[in-house]
Structure 1
Amino acid sequence: MKNIFYLFVFSFVVSTTVAQQKAVEYKDGSQVLSGISVKPAKALKGNPGILILPAWMGIQNHEKEVANQLADLGYQTFIADIYGIDQRPASTKEAGAKAGYYKKNISEYQKRIQLALDQLVKQGGNRDAIVVIGYCFGGTGAVEAARTNMKVNGIVSFHGGLGRDESRTIEVIIPKVLVLHGADDNFVPKEEIEKFQAEMRTAKADWQMVYYANAVHAFTEKSAGNDNSKGAAYNEKADKRSWQAMLDFLKEVL
């Protein structure tokens, strides 16, 4: 009987201290989207929210792990579905085509990001305390959230693209910007970085850009392997350092 009692107490404690994860369907016109909401077991004061923008393959285990880790720290998190519930890429070739479409049709990407932000708030995130983070393609989206002054406190781009159509007007950027970048990332040309930094200055942004030694593209993604010669590879040191940089940023802006 005593063992049953202890088992009940243990089960109760576990059930009340584990973040709650659920799929959330929403729409962009007729397109059904399905993001993932993770509610912390114990939210931080003010219910700050984090929107996670996935890399080009869409919602994968990496984004889910990040969402759970942030929820464990007390943040309400939401992983955006950019492509649609029936539009998930089945290969890197498909992912490249789909991500390329949204980079060329940037207003559609911006709209999908805003719809996901709305869902984050509906799920309990404080609309006045939100940060957008993104990986690779999602990092590009995070920068777009800043460029269009979405109602967020800041954005964090992990090894994201930084390019911008030069015909676009540079507006003053209000959200704080943190770009975490592999020092050896050849996916983002030097010219693109220089133009981005010039843009940040023109936009009078509060921005930071941190470089990580010996890190190439996708340095936070364990499934990328560890061969830098392939252009995309995991780097444990850069992963840990960039995670800490993000946590410090979150404390500052939220």
Structure 2
Amino acid sequence: METVATRTVEYPADGLTMVGHLALPAGTGRRPAVLIGPEGTGLNDFQRRRADALAELGYVALAFDIHGGRYLDDAEEMLARCMPLLADPDRMRDIGHAALDVLLAEPRTDPDRIAAVGYGTGGAIALELGRDGVDLRAIGTVNALTTGRPGEAARIRCPVWAGVGSEDPIMAPAQREAFTAEMQDAGVDWRLVVYGGALHAFHHPPVDHIVRPGVGHHPRHAQRAWRDIVDLLAECLPVTELLSGR
């Protein structure tokens, strides 16, 4: 069985040199493609492995960077960078478009079949690409129930799936309600899955650095959320060619 091919890609965005991880499926033909955005701490091996897993399923996958090649394991430093970013839709869109341009430049990418999946800050960036009118086939977010500027959600042209932990203090019930109201008022095809008992960043394996209160891993729900994302892609972005051939 052929294995996926991976490579590091560098590209400019947000005044930084971003360092992404591109994973290509077996074969030579064009495939549907997926952007994968990391949580606020930044790109690490967890998201790189997610890109590899999607490539094994037949997708071109780019795990994109948000911190210029750095992983911010200091909570204060991470918040100092991410909070202004999350408050600036245009900056988020610029970071997302830069990654999208890298994905579109890959010859294996089918430019008419692209989805964006993200976690935390990366999920907010995926949503902003949708609000910017990018022609995506699906948007999936975990721990990223961010709302946008008034009226711009109407530009989202694809299904939106969102997952959140019921005990997430960062994406609290009021935030969930604001997000779902925005999606509903805009006529978006949306779904929200609330994973009972899970905290913020429940999808991410435990880390060896200090994290914020309200953050914690939930192994069962992490697996369920990943299956839900894979199912979203299978529904909206099916891989129609045999991996062994074209």
TM-score, with structure 2 as normaliser:
0.86
The one-letter amino acid paired with 1:73 is L
Q: How many residues align?
A: 233
Indicate which of 82, 87, 93 corresponds to 1:110: 93
Task: Identify if the C-alpha distance between structure 1 residues 180 and 159 changes in structure 2 by more than 3 Å, giving closer, same or farther.
Answer: same
Which residue pairs with 1:80 in the alignment?
64
1:58 alignment partner, SS class: coil
Which residue pairs with 1:67 in the alignment?
51
1:185 alignment partner, SS class: coil
Measured against aligned partners, the alpha-carbon deviations of 1:109-143 in whole angstroms (never above 9, x if no partner) come to 11110110111121222111111011111122222
2:154 alignment partner, SS class: coil
The one-letter amino acid paired with 2:113 is A
Query: Which aligned segments of 4 or more residues in structure 1 are displaced greater than 6 angstroms?
Result: none
Provide the aligned C-alpha RMSD in A: 2.2
- Counterpart contact for 2:131–2:156, Cα < 8 Å: yes
Percent identity between the two aligned chains:
26
Which residue pairs with 1:31 in the alignment?
16
C-alpha distance in structure 2 between counterparts of 1:151 and 1:46, whole Å: 18
Which residue pairs with 1:50 in the alignment?
34
- Counterpart contact for 1:156–1:179, Cα < 8 Å: yes
Residue 90 of structure 1 and its aligned partner are, at CA, apart by: 5.3
Q: How does 1:118-157 map to 2 (within 5 A)?
A: 118-123=101-106, 124-157=108-141
2:192 alignment partner, SS class: strand
- Counterpart contact for 1:67–1:79, Cα < 8 Å: yes
Q: Which runs of 5+ in 1 are unaligned?
A: 1-12
Which residue pairs with 2:3 in the alignment?
18
The one-letter amino acid paired with 1:130 is I
Residue 60 of structure 1 and its aligned partner are, at CA, apart by: 0.7
* Pair 1:176 & 2:159 matched: yes
Task: Identify if the C-alpha distance between structure 1 residues 69 and 169 changes in structure 2 by more than 3 Å, giving closer, same or farther.
Answer: closer
The one-letter amino acid paired with 2:34 is I
Which residue pairs with 1:206 in the alignment?
189
Which residue pairs with 2:178 in the alignment?
195
The one-letter amino acid paired with 2:20 is G
1:38 alignment partner, SS class: strand
Measured against aligned partners, the alpha-carbon deviations of 1:42-87 in whole angstroms (never above 9, x if no partner) come to 47x75010101111111111101111111111111101122324x6
Higher mean C-alpha displacement, 33-42 vs 197-206: 33-42
Greater relative CO (CA pairs within 8 A, separation 6+): 2
Measured against aligned partners, the alpha-carbon deviations of 1:6-32 in whole angstroms (never above 9, x if no partner) come to xxxxxxx6xxx2211111112238632
Task: Identify if the C-alpha distance between structure 1 residues 151 and 170 changes in structure 2 by more than 3 Å, giving closer, same or farther.
Answer: closer
